[in-house]
Chain A
């Protein structure tokens, strides 16, 4: 009897784990880790070196992952909220990053293409870009919330026009920032051997966690995403809540934009953050969030973002042609979507149950 009870409780725990949405990105992470361990354990080596400026720097594939996955993680925060509240996705984040990055460079460089010294403090440039990105987020938000346009359709406008706007902000010039400190955001802060983007991502995650703890953003967004009518009758303003998620995504866009332009100290309007919107949406989906809105888990989305980078880095390591990367991502998406489909999970747990029962029966018979 006691063993049976134990078994059933173990089954319950297993079920709980299976039904928890964070299970999806974690299992993906595990699979990638195992594959890399088997094929080449050196993947996980981290070594301490010195950068050309003589500062200590950690390097290795894992560092690359937490470095390059960070913009995506930051975007995933905003994208998760937008998805949860509006039941749709913002496909203009790549173009919006081009705009935000362009604004930063415009403020830093003024009208010159490559000034010797920056024309304004970096923090000012960043804050201006935050405001601009929030304004563009607000534009999307108004279209979605107040004009009731489907999010993907509404954000098409910026998706189409954004990169031209970015180019226009700098008169089609490609400004270059010649300032040491500006490279810190996309690189390393002297003396700290871990890439700065990771710290920025952590900061964003902490801020988000605090906001979710000390405000009702989570509850409100989920309510609106699940049942707009009920939410309104409970005193919420669903339109405003949808609107605000787009503005929050705007902030995320500005932060990601800062990292992106800092990496190279310049910008290329047509390719910066190219296709990042698809990765951001994928991160949300990988996090097990329902793309039609409602309940969400930002932790899962962030994990999802790093999983995507993990995958990208792994593929680069295996020297997969980068043009084929998206095809591999597509395969992963298909597998994940299938695994996470309720039908499959139910079937899997039924099979598991059968196996356990058979074993128990065999034992009893024995």
Chain B
């Protein structure tokens, strides 16, 4: 083993029917190091993590853990825990209806009798030593996602883990929460814990990590010191090609806007039961605009109102100058509106259904109950969009849930494109997916607009919106507080508008 190494994986191979997910991958993690594991979706990151945590059994290769010369054989998550490997997933895997302390200790009581008073006191100590501000007796469900994650980390720390895996921990955190998490990570680092950090946020990688290991198509591309690998190179290594200059994406997006005819969509005093203030909104043919604001500012709620996804309490809507009534999703769909929802898993995919069925679903519903597509038609649509959006799937028959996040997202985009909408709403289409797909999606948005589609694009990453949108609606506390376009479309201007208008 390398000096200082807490974990070494050698020549790891793992294949699934028809796919070689990992081929001779090496990975080394040192003490007190934050190590980013990077790669596009499908590159093998998840598989590697799952092999390490015992969810999958490897086909061949060795895993060494500090403190033992022999290769360890990890056959189950329990084995991994015993070997000192702990994982904190994006989705919290704790029990929400137990208390914080119970969550920290559950499943590893030694005797039959428990002294919860003592437990609570111990939990308090662990939490405070990590600077996590939460009461041990509080019910976990009542804590924010960020705190829940930190509790999960505290649990790992208390088990004296040597290796901590953080799998996309920041996707549902806001900036201040991310900062807190990073503070915690630095503390652990100081204690000598090796941290594997999986994320799609490049900024975060460069902020916290020491080393980067890049995977592509199940093979190791290389291991790099963070200081030796500029961003552009990282991205190009992940993609395996030289990256088009990001700034190239931004075309002259205002050119395609049709200012002559009535707006494609025009809403007045729109309001739903989700706690947003009534708002006005319009979009023209060929226009790309966006809603921005902090998490929870109401930007999703606004587009959901447009689509009729929540209960509509009021407002007037005109499509192409004609008054229409939209109270439920099917109304919106019939009027040519499509909505890619924010929460892919909860509101988007129909997990057990095939890619084909997921693609045709919306169009099928729009077409009507008594007019099902023939299997041949459905297949034609599916094949067409699988090719068009370069969706990586074994076949159109594969259940969507077995695809990677980015490819699931592409299927959902295909679903809505297939309905040939006049107005497409994309709510966080780039969240939790790989860089390559992110760029593909942004390009696609601009292409669609140039062909005359109106698109509303929402993203937590402001630069993505700056690149694609010609107009931004800024939200704060459920209220529209400004609209930016042209020269005003800058990071600073957006920040100041969100913050309250001071320059």
Contacts and interface: CB of A to CB of B under 8 A. Distances in A.
A–B touch (CB < 8 A): the answer is: yes
Interface of A: 12, 213-217, 219-220, 222-223, 226-227, 229-237, 294-295
B382 to A, nearest CB: 14
B352 A226 contact: yes
B377 to A, nearest CB: 13
A220 B350 CA distance: 11
A154 B51 CA distance: 45
B330 A235 contact: yes
B357 interface: yes
B197 interface: no
A225 to B, nearest CB: 9
Given A223-B361, A230-B349, A231-B350, A214 B329 contact: no
B372 A216 contact: yes
Contact of B372 (A219, A222, A229, A235): A219
Interface stretch (B26-34, B105-113, B204-212, B339-347): B339-347
A222 B354 CA distance: 11
**Which one of B17, B330, B352, B415 has the greatest number of beta carbons of chain A within 10 Å?**
B352
A235 B351 contact: no
6 contacts: A216-B369, A231-B350, A233-B307, A233-B339, A234-B329, A235-B330
Interface in B272-326: 307, 309
A295 B357 CA distance: 12
B362 interface: yes
B253 interface: no
B141 interface: no
Chain A contact residues: helix, strand, loop or mixed: helix
A47 to B, nearest CB: 43
A219 B357 contact: yes
Contacts of A222: 350, 352-353, 357
Contacts of A220: 365, 369
B10 interface: no
Q: Nearest 4 A-B pairs (CB), nearest first?
A: A235-B330, A235-B365, A235-B333, A234-B362
Given A234-B362, A235-B366, A223 B350 contact: yes
B350 A227 contact: yes
A143 to B, nearest CB: 22
A220 B364 CA distance: 10
Given A214-B372, A226-B353, A295-B353, A219 B361 contact: yes
Contact of A223 (B329, B341, B353): B353
Contact of B352 (A229, A234, A236, A295): A295
B348 interface: yes
B16 interface: no
Contacts of B339: 233
A163 B58 CA distance: 58
B329 A215 contact: no
Contacts of A219: 353, 357, 361, 364, 372
A215 B372 contact: yes
B339 to A, nearest CB: 7
A223 B369 CA distance: 13
A227 B372 contact: no
A220 B349 CA distance: 14
A233 B352 contact: no
B353 A233 contact: no
Contacts of A223: 350, 353, 361
Contacts of B366: 235
Given A214-B372, A234-B361, A229 B346 contact: yes
Interface in B362-385: 362, 364-366, 368-372
A139 B368 CA distance: 26
A229 B361 contact: no
B372 to A, nearest CB: 5
A216 B346 contact: no
Contacts of A237: 328, 330
A264 B240 CA distance: 76
Nearest to A293: B352
Given A216-B372, A222-B353, A233 B361 contact: no
A214 B374 CA distance: 9
Given A214-B370, A216-B369, A235 B350 contact: no
Contacts of A215: 369-370, 372
Nearest to A229: B347
Contacts of A226: 350-353
Contacts of B361: 219, 223, 234
A300 to B, nearest CB: 15
Contacts of A213: 372
A90 B347 CA distance: 27
Contacts of B328: 235, 237
B424 to A, nearest CB: 14
Nearest to A223: B350
Contacts of B330: 235-237
A234 B346 contact: no
B329 A233 contact: yes
A282 to B, nearest CB: 22
A227 B351 contact: yes
Contacts of B346: 227, 229-230
A230 B351 CA distance: 10
B372 A230 contact: no
Contacts of A231: 350
A235 B308 CA distance: 10
A213 B371 CA distance: 10
Contacts of A229: 346-347
A175 B341 CA distance: 58
A226 B352 CA distance: 7
A52 to B, nearest CB: 47
Given A216-B369, A222-B357, A233-B341, 16 more contacts: A12-B17, A213-B372, A215-B369, A215-B370, A217-B369, A219-B357, A220-B365, A220-B369, A226-B353, A227-B351, A230-B349, A232-B329, A234-B361, A234-B362, A235-B333, A236-B365
